[in-house]
Amino acid sequence: MSNFYRLEFNVEQQCFHFGDKSNIPNTNGYFTVSDYITEREFIVFECFLKRDFKKKYSQDYILKSMSQLSIFWEELINNNLNIN
């Protein structure tokens, strides 16, 4: 069974952080990207981000990419496709 985490990103440090119930969200320069994400889904998201070869990510870019990836996931499911 996969564990779910809250995914957060810090624009200044350009790094992601997995939070859990014990962490206060949106602190120390981090903002929430997703409230429920598995490690595997994060790997797919990270690959999805790299599609534009950006060196720095803005908050808008991260959130827009997550939204686009959600639509992509839905289309995969609707077409009975799965990423293994």
Residue 83 covered by a domain = no
> How does DSSP assign 12-77, residue by residue?
TTTEEEEE-TTSPSS-TTEEEEEEEE-HHHHHHHHHHHGGG--SS--HHHHHHHHHHHHHHHHHHH
This prediction has a pTM of 0.84
The pLDDT of residue 1: 57
pLDDT digits (tens, 9 = 90+) for 64-81: 999 998 898 888 888 988
Residue 57 covered by a domain = yes
Provide the domain count of the chain: 1
Q: Which domain holds residue 68?
A: 5-78
Q: At what angle do helices 59-78 and 39-49 cross, to 10 degrees?
A: 110
Residue 13 covered by a domain = yes
Q: Count the Cβ atoms, other than its own, within 10 Å of residue 7.
A: 23
Residues 3-13 have a mean pLDDT of: 96
